[in-house]
Chain A
C-alpha cells in the first residue's frame, strides 16, 4: 500500500511536469497568434488586400544544342499562343464556343486546355491554342475587345531543324509528366512546359534548362490580374556544344535510308562522337507538339521500332567484326605466334566430339596465318584460336577492350552488351556447366556474346589509336580520357595490317578503290541458326527478310594516321561486305573529303 502510494505520487509529479509543458507550449502558440493577429495585423491586412504575393513563374529560354561547328541542332522558336484566364471569363464554355467562330480550336486543343488547367490558380492563364499563324493573329486582333480574359502570349517552342536525322542522339523535349515532377518537385512551379525526355536533351537537362524567374502579379480582391512588374528575370539555359558533325550525321542518315540499323563515327584520337544515327528514325518535332493517340500508337506498334536507340541500346552479336579483337587478345596472351599457321577445312570439330562448326565458305580457306585469317574471315581458324585461349582469358581480353562495359558516353539508356564466361554462367544464369562449344562460338562473335555499336566503334578506335581506348563523349568540353590497352606495338601493327588487307583484297574488297586508305573488318551475324543439308550447305529458302543475317562493318581511316573510326550495322542486311561496308564508306568519304577541301 505504501509502495503504491509512493508510485502514484511519483506519477503525479511527472504528470504535473507534462501539464506545465503543455502550459508553456500553449503560451508560445498564443504569443505567436497575438503577434500575427494584433501586432502585425495591419501589415497582413495590406498584403491580403493587395496580395502582391500572387507570384507567377517566368520560364527560362532553353539552351541550344550545337554541332562542332556551331550549327544549331536544337533551336527555340517564338510561338504565339492563345491563353484564357479562367477567373476573368464569365463562362468558359460560351467563350470558347464564341472563339471558335474566329479561330479553329480543335477538340484535342480543348482537352489539352482542360488537362493543363488542373493544378493552376484561377488567375493563371492557361494555353488554349498553340502555334497561331499570322492570319489567325490578325483575325483575333480585330475581335480582341470582346474577349476579356483571352490573350495572345509568346512561348518558346523547341525546334529540331534536322528532324529525324538527329532524333536519337539529340533526343527531344516534352511536357513534364508525373515522373518528372516526382524527381524534381520544383518543376511544377517553374513555368516550364518542356523538359528533356531523351538523348542529350535529357542528359544535359540541368545545363540546358536555365533558371525560372519570378514575376509578381498584382491582383485585386476578386483575384483578377490588374498589373504586373517583373521581379526577377529568368536566367536562360546554357548552350550545349557537341562533338557531332552535321554533314557527317546527314550523310550517315542518307546512307541508311531504307535500312534499319545504326551508324556511329568517332574520332579515334579522343573519343569524340562525330555521328550517331539509328534507323529507322522519327521526327522529334512531333513529340514537342505532343503526339496524338494515333501517332503514338503507330510509332509504338511499328515492327521496326523507330523509337529504339540502336547505336546505344542495341545489343547485337558482333559476328566476325570481333575477330581483330580476338586476334589481339590471342597475340597478347601468347595463344598464337604472329607467323604460326593453323589448318583450316570446311568445318571444325572439338577433339573427341561429333558436332561440326562450319566455315562460312564451303570447303574453308586451307592453312593460313593470323593475318590471312583476318583478311578472309577464316572461321575455322578462329574456332581454334578461341579454344586455345579458353573462355576466361578470352572474356577478360574482350573486357579490356571495353566489351561488356559502358563506353562512358554522355547519353541515357546505354546498353552494356554481354561478354559471357564460365563465371557469368554460374552467377547470372545459375548453370555450373560451360559448354566448350560456347567458347568456340565466341571466337567468331556468336553465341551469347553481344556488343553495342558504341562498344564496337570504341574498340575499333583503340586499334586505330595504337592501343588507346578512349571514353566516348558528345559534349565538346568534356575532358578526354583514354585507357591504354595492354598490347605490344608489333601485335597492334599486325592487326592493323590485316584490317587493311580486308579492304585491299579481303572480304571488303568492294572498298578497295576508295582513295582514303581504309582499314576494316566485315561481320555477318546470324539471327538464327541456318539449316544445313547433309553436306553442310545452307538450305535455300531461309532468306525471308527477318531471318536474314545482320550485316556489320567496322573501319577506320586513313590507316596511316587515323582520323575517323566507324561502326555500322544493317539489320538483316545479309553480308557485311556488301550491305554495311558501303554505308561506312559514305561516312568516311564525307568526313575526309570535307577535311581535304577545308584545308587545301
Chain B
C-alpha cells in the first residue's frame, strides 16, 4: 500500500505544474464551449471528458519515459511511420477523395498523426549525434528525412498536414543550427515555385486559396465557412453574447462549430475577454515549453522540446488564422479544445515529452 502510493506519487512527480495548469484550463474551456455548441448535449461533453481522461493517462506515461529511451526509439518510430504511410497509400480507406485513414477492424487512425511526433524525434535524434551540423551534408540529410513523409502525405492528398509536418521538421533543423543560408534558400524557392506549383494543385485546393482571397466568390460553398465564422467572432464583441447565447452556433449557421471552427463559437459567446484569456493560456504553455528547451542541457532534449513548443503554437496560429479569415481553410483543430480524439492524443503526448525532458535529471541542471 505504502509502496503503491509512493510509486504513483513518483509517477505524478514528472508532471510540470505550469503545463498542467494550462492543460486543465484548456479542458475547461473545451467542455464549456462544446456543451453550449452541442445544444447542451451531455453526451458530447462526456465523450470529450473520456478522451481527456485517456489522454491524461497516456501523458503521465509518456512523461515517465526517460528522454534517452525516446531518443533510442526515434529511428524505429520514424521507420514505422513511413511504412504505415506507404500502406495507407496502397490500402488506406478513401474518404472524400483522399486516402488518409488506415483501418484495422473497426478502428481507424491517420498514420500522419504518428509522423507529427516521429519526424521531430527522428530529426532531433539525427542532429543530436551529427558531427558537424553546419555541414551541407547535415542540411541535406535533414531535408531528405523531411521530404519522404512529406511527399507520402502530400500524395494522399493531404497538403495541409504535409505542410505542417514539413514546417515542424524545418523548425528542428533551425534549432539544431543548420546554416541560415539553407532557410533563406528555402524561402526563395517557395516564393519562386509558388506559381508553378499552382498548376499541380487539385481543383478543391485551388478553390480554397481563391476563396481565402475573396470569400464572396462562392458565398454558398467554400466561402460560407469563413463568412459565417467571421460573423460569429465579430458579433461577439468585447464581452461576448454570453454562454449559450451564441446565435451563430446554435442556429446552425456556423458549420464545424465543434471541431475546426470551435474558436468562432467560443469567441462569439465569450468575446474579446474570453479570447485574450484563451490566448494567454496558450502562450503560457508555449513559453513554458520554450523555457524547458532553454534550460535543457542535452542536445536531443532541447531540440525536441523547442520543436514541439513551436509546432504547438503553429497549430494555434493556423486554426485561429483560418477562423478569423487571415489564412486559407485547412483542416486543423484548435489544440485541446476541438472535439475529437486523435489530434488531442497527439498534443497530449507531445506535452508529455516536454515534461519528460524537463523532469529527468540527466537532462536538466
| Residue positions of A touching B, CB distance < 8 A | 7-8, 10-12, 14-15, 17-19, 22, 25-26, 28-30, 32-34, 36-38, 40-41, 43-45, 47-49, 51, 53-55, 57, 121-123, 182, 185-186, 189, 214, 219, 221-223
A186→B220 CA distance, assembly (Å): 9
Distance from A53 Cβ to chain B, minimum over Cβ atoms (Å): 6
Contact of A53 among B171, B219, B275, B310 (CB under 8 A): B219
Residues from chain A with a CB closer than 8 A to the CB of B321 are 29, 32
Distance from A24 Cβ to chain B, minimum over Cβ atoms (Å): 10
A448→B252 CA distance, assembly (Å): 61
Contact B324 A32 (CB under 8 A): yes
Contact A11 B234 (CB under 8 A): no
Residues from chain A with a CB closer than 8 A to the CB of B177 are 7, 10-11, 14
Residues from chain B with a CB closer than 8 A to the CB of A8 are 297
Any A CB within 8 A of the CB of B340 = no
A-B residue pairs in contact (CB < 8 Å), sample of 28: A11-B302, A14-B177, A15-B306, A18-B310, A22-B313, A26-B317, A29-B320, A29-B326, A30-B279, A32-B325, A33-B324, A36-B233, A37-B238, A37-B267, A37-B275, A44-B231, A44-B233, A47-B231, A47-B234, A48-B234, A51-B247, A51-B251, A55-B224, A57-B220, A189-B220, A189-B221, A221-B251, A223-B252
A38→B237 CA distance, assembly (Å): 6
A8→B235 CA distance, assembly (Å): 48
| Residue positions of B touching A, CB distance < 8 A | 96-97, 171, 174-175, 177, 204, 219-221, 224, 227-228, 230-238, 247-248, 251-253, 267, 271-272, 275, 279, 283, 286-287, 290, 293-294, 297, 302, 306, 310, 313, 317, 320-321, 324-326
Residues from chain B with a CB closer than 8 A to the CB of A43 are 234
For B306, the closest partner residue in chain A by CB is A15
Contact A48 B175 (CB under 8 A): no
Contact B235 A44 (CB under 8 A): yes
Residues from chain B with a CB closer than 8 A to the CB of A17 are 174
Residues from chain A with a CB closer than 8 A to the CB of B320 are 29, 33
Contact A19 B290 (CB under 8 A): yes
Residues from chain B with a CB closer than 8 A to the CB of A12 are 294
For A184, the closest partner residue in chain B by CB is B203
For B174, the closest partner residue in chain A by CB is A14
For B255, the closest partner residue in chain A by CB is A121
Contact A37 B236 (CB under 8 A): yes
Secondary structure at the B interface, as helix, strand, loop or mixed, is helix
Residues from chain A with a CB closer than 8 A to the CB of B175 are 11, 14-15, 18
Which of A19, A36, A121, A186 has the most chain B CB atoms inside 10 A of its CB?
Answer: A36
Contact A26 B235 (CB under 8 A): no
Residues from chain B with a CB closer than 8 A to the CB of A55 are 219-220, 224
A429→B96 CA distance, assembly (Å): 36
A122→B253 CA distance, assembly (Å): 10
Residues from chain B with a CB closer than 8 A to the CB of A32 are 321, 324-326
**Which 3 pairs show the lowest CB-CB distances between chains A and B?**
A44-B234, A48-B235, A36-B234
Residues from chain A with a CB closer than 8 A to the CB of B287 are 19
| Known A28-B326, A44-B234, A222-B251; further 19 A-B contacts with Cβ < 8 A | A12-B294, A15-B175, A17-B174, A18-B290, A22-B283, A29-B279, A29-B320, A32-B324, A32-B325, A33-B272, A36-B233, A37-B236, A37-B271, A44-B235, A45-B234, A51-B251, A53-B231, A54-B253, A186-B221
Residues from chain B with a CB closer than 8 A to the CB of A41 are 234-235, 237-238
A119→B64 CA distance, assembly (Å): 45
Residues from chain B with a CB closer than 8 A to the CB of A10 are 177
Contact of A25 among B171, B232, B313 (CB under 8 A): B313
A41→B267 CA distance, assembly (Å): 12
A186→B302 CA distance, assembly (Å): 47
